[in-house]
Each structure stands twice: as C-alpha cells, then as structure tokens.
Amino acid sequence: MRDAYIVTALRTPGCRRNKGALANTRPEALISFILDAVVQKTPGLDKGMVEDIMLGCSFPEAEQGLNIGRIAAQIAGFPDSVSGATVNRFCASGLESVVQACMRVMVGFSEVTMAGGVESMSFVPMGGNLPRPFPEMTKEHPDLYASMGITAENVAQRYNVSRQDQDEFAYQSHMKALAAQKSGGFIEVVPTPAVKFVEQADGTYKKEIFLQDFDDGVRATTTVEGLAKLRPVFAAAGSVTAGNSSQTTDGAAASVIMTLDKCKELGLTPLAKLKSYATVGVRADEMGVGPAYAIPKALAIAGLKVEDVGLYELNEAFASQALYSMRQLGLDKPGQVEKINIHGGAIALGHPLGCTGSKLTATLLNNMKAKGVKYGVVSMCIGGGMGAAGVFELYEG
C-alpha cells in the first residue's frame, strides 16, 4: 500500500458563535473559500486534478445540508468532474475526512484528493435544529443523548480532576494562544472574507465584506482568579464552567492530499504523511476519556510510543477530559506536557465541531514543519462515547 501525503493544510480563523466575526458568514462561504485558498497555495495544482473532496460536518443540515461536500466544491469553482461527500463522526468529523481522503490515495483509488471540515455554530446550533432521540433508547440508555457538559462533570468527579486544575489549564490555553498570536505563530490561518450587516441612515441594513485574520475568542485578560469566580454550568455543585470548556465557534479548514509521485511531478514538497489512525468506543456518559484509549491504539499501529511523539494537538473539549487523558498517558509530566497544544487549544481558540479535526491537522502539520518534529498526533473525544487519534510523520525528503 502506498503512502498518502498532505501537501497543504490551512484554516480560517475560529470565531465565537453568534458574537464573533464570522457569525453572519454562511458555512458554504467559509468552506468554499478555504477550499479555493488551499488550491491557490499549492503551486501547480489545478482544481480539475482533484478527484474527490471529503468534508467533515457534525450537523449537516440547513445551511450545512444538501451534501455540503459537493455544494462547497461547486461554489469554490471546482469542475463538475470533482465529486464530494459529507463525513460525520461528530467531533472527529474533520479528522475522519482527512483519513478518508488519505485512504483513497493509499489504496490506489485516487492520485489527488482533498479533505476539510466546516461548522457554523451560529447558523446551525449544537444538536441541530430538530433533534429527535429514539424514544426507547432515552429510557434504556439516556446517557447516549446526555449533554457533553454532563459527561465532562462525570469525568471530573469520577477521576478527581479538581476545579483549580481545570481553571489553571484553561488559563494556560489562553496564554499560549495569545503568545502565538503576538508572535505570528498561526501560520496556517488564512485571512477570510466575513459578512457584516451595517445599519444605514434610513434604518435598512447593508451587507459589507471585511477580512478576518485572527481567532477572536482568545482573551488576553484571562486570569486564574477570574476563572475561579465563574459558576458551574452543568451541575449545581460541579466544576465545569464556561471558562474551562471549549468555545462554540464558526470555522472551516481544508487540505490537499496526493501520492508522492504526484508531488514530484508537480514539484511540490509535502508536509507529512498519515502514519496511522484509530477510533475507539467508550462509555457515553464519560465520552471525554476517548483520547486516553485512542492515542495508544493509534501509536501501537504506527509502532510508536508516547514519548516518540514530538507534538500533540489534543482537542480541549473540556479541561477535565483533556487533563484526564494527559494524566492517563503520562503527558502531564515535565518533558511531555510542553508538547501539548503549544499554541493553545479549543478553550481559547474554539471547537467548531466538524471542522476541528481538519483545523487541528493544519495546526499540527505546519508546526511540525516549523519545528522539525518527526511525529505528531491529533486526537479528540467524540460525542456518544468515542475517541479518535491520527498519527502523522513529517516528510523529510
């Protein structure tokens, strides 16, 4: 089986749901823009060379429905010959899309594919517009439909993750993200056209376009003391707050994937190749523990150990579950903890659900290249009780 190489991986900024810079920008516009941008940033690549596009989306309905994987490609100006599909593994949808696109190349079905992810949580709310749980299952297995916040509380309580540790973790996420913004560390971010509606003198509103070039959820004024004052959200005596949970955001990401022969033909130097991928199932009422099981499984497939990995992008769905996973894997120790989310995570930068896996892949691969790190891991917990992890190996020529 041949290898699949990620050549280019980029993302839009992640912006706060309803209050952020992308709140009025439709998801089709976000993903079609970044699909076009990633092709433009890949010298020698023509849109007609792309054979298929896999696009992650956690709630593919309304503005994100009607197979946005195909529609976005058409909006972005890809020819009719380029097919597209929408992939849903909830919070791992964006990573699943990368893997599915890579697999097509690996087994010989395609020479060039693309992957991506999109979620506008401003347009399509968490849970979708019309959730309809299976009645009998809500009696027999209600935790399958439980709020993700409740599952985060379960992890905190069952595994003794303190409120203080969660708030400290959240503070560090913001500080790392702030430092990366100041130093220009987010090299994977593309300034993105955004929509705003400006009231006119006659009371009507005019649609205007501006460029958004940064993640707008990062709070420079965050302090541990300030976080400690926030009330629990999901349980009266709980420890999970809005401050130590991921932000609900809008965003999109995309990548170009091809064979090494195609890279050489086009004169391209790839970023990295997919080394391995693993998914696991865990108890639905503590879904946040997923990375603690998915990462070892993916590493075993790759023939690697935790300490072999130079960088981790561990999605910060909640501080409680991220801390638990790190502790289980020994990643909370000196020499390892420095490898985790070096530019901050979802608590500061947001978790645009179906986009997140592609977004984190773009962040990881560009950081691996910048720092010369051979192995990197993207991992996240998944609603319904799962975990996923992908291992990537830097291309060294």
Among all residues, which ones are annotated catalytic?
91, 351, 381
For residue 182, give every residue at least 6 positions away whose Cβ sits within 8 Å of its Cβ, in sequence order, or none. Answer: none
For residue 279, give every residue at least 6 positions away whose Cβ sits within 8 Å of its Cβ, in sequence order, or none. Answer: 89, 92, 294, 386, 387, 388
Both tokens assigned to 377: 């891991």
Q: Helix (H, G, I), strand (E, B), or coil: what is residue 290?
A: helix
CB contact at 8 A, 269 and 112: no
Q: What is the DSSP string of 180-240?
A: HHHHT--TTB--EEEEEEEE-TTS-EEEEEEEE-S-TT--TT--HHHHHTSPPSSSTT---
Q: What is the DSSP string of 360-374?
A: HHHHHHHHHHHHT-S
By the 10 Å C-beta count (0-12 exposed, 13-18 middle, 19+ buried), 109 is classed as exposed
Query: How far lies 328's CA from each of 172, 204, 323, 388, in Å?
Result: 20, 56, 9, 16
The Cα–Cα gap between 100 and 82 comes to 16
CB contact at 8 A, 358 and 98: yes
Element (H, E) at 246: none
CB contact at 8 A, 299 and 309: yes
- Measured distance between the N- and C-terminal CA atoms of the chain, rounded to whole angstroms: 19
Q: What is the DSSP string of 17-85?
A: TTTSTTTTS-HHHHHHHHHHHHHHTSTT--GGG--EEEEE-SS--GGGTTTHHHHHHHHTT--TT-EEE
CA atoms lying within 13 Å on the CB side of residue 98: 38
- The torsion region of residue 360 among left (phi > 0), alpha (psi -120 to 50) and beta comes to alpha
Q: Which amino acid is at 344?
A: G
Question: How is the chain split among helix, strand and coil, in percent rounded to 5?
Answer: 40, 25, 40
The Cα–Cα gap between 205 and 236 comes to 42
